[in-house]
Amino acid sequence: MIFGGIPGSANAWSADADVMHRDDDGGFSVTVDLDAGRAYRFRYLLDGQRWDNDWAADAYVANDFGGDDSVVDLTATGEAVPPAARKTPARKEAVREAPARTAKKAAPTAKRAGRTAK
């Protein structure tokens, strides 16, 4: 099987826009930049002629061809992400730990001089 593209609402349903490539594990993959804050419809186009859904999609919506389109829903992320940061990879902040505190040793207590019985 030759994997094809991922036509969808993000690329005007172009079969040539987001073509999947074989990865090192023998599967197929492609990276697609999507804006947060909206949902995208898509389908897989296999061998240039067979349409298939993503069975792990967020939802499915009926299309005009008697089938369903897969949906990836990014609407929940749109509110939390400022527009300028939507396509910018997030940088991880260095985690700074507080210096370790060592327990202070208690001052030795004076031993009572006592008599021992023999």
Tens digit of each residue's pLDDT (9 = 90 or more) over 12-38: 888 888 888 888 888 888 888 889 999
CATH classification of the domain holding 45: 2.60.40
The tokens of 29 are what?
């993959």
Q: Domain for residue 49, yes or no?
A: yes
Q: What integer pLDDT is reported at residue 81 of this predicted model?
A: 52
Q: Domain for residue 74, yes or no?
A: yes
Radius of gyration of the chain (CA): 30
Q: Domain for residue 16, yes or no?
A: yes
Please give the residue range of the domain that contains residue 16.
9-79
Please tell me which residue, 101 or 39, carries the higher pLDDT value: 39
Rounded to an integer, the average pLDDT of 86-115 is 45
Q: Domain for residue 44, yes or no?
A: yes
| Cβ neighbours around 94 below 10 Å, total | 5
3-state secondary structure 52-72: ECCCCCCEEEECCCCCEEEEE
Of the candidate ranges 3-7, 42-46, 50-54, 62-66, the one whose mean pLDDT is the lowest: 3-7
Q: Domain for residue 101, yes or no?
A: no
Q: Domain for residue 29, yes or no?
A: yes
Q: Domain for residue 18, yes or no?
A: yes
Number of H helices, E strands in the chain: 1, 7
Give residue for tokens 């939507």: 86
Asked if 14 and 7 touch (Cβ cutoff 8 Å), the reply is yes
pLDDT of 110 higher than 50: no
Number of domains in the chain: 1
Please tell me which residue, 58 or 109, carries the higher pLDDT value: 58
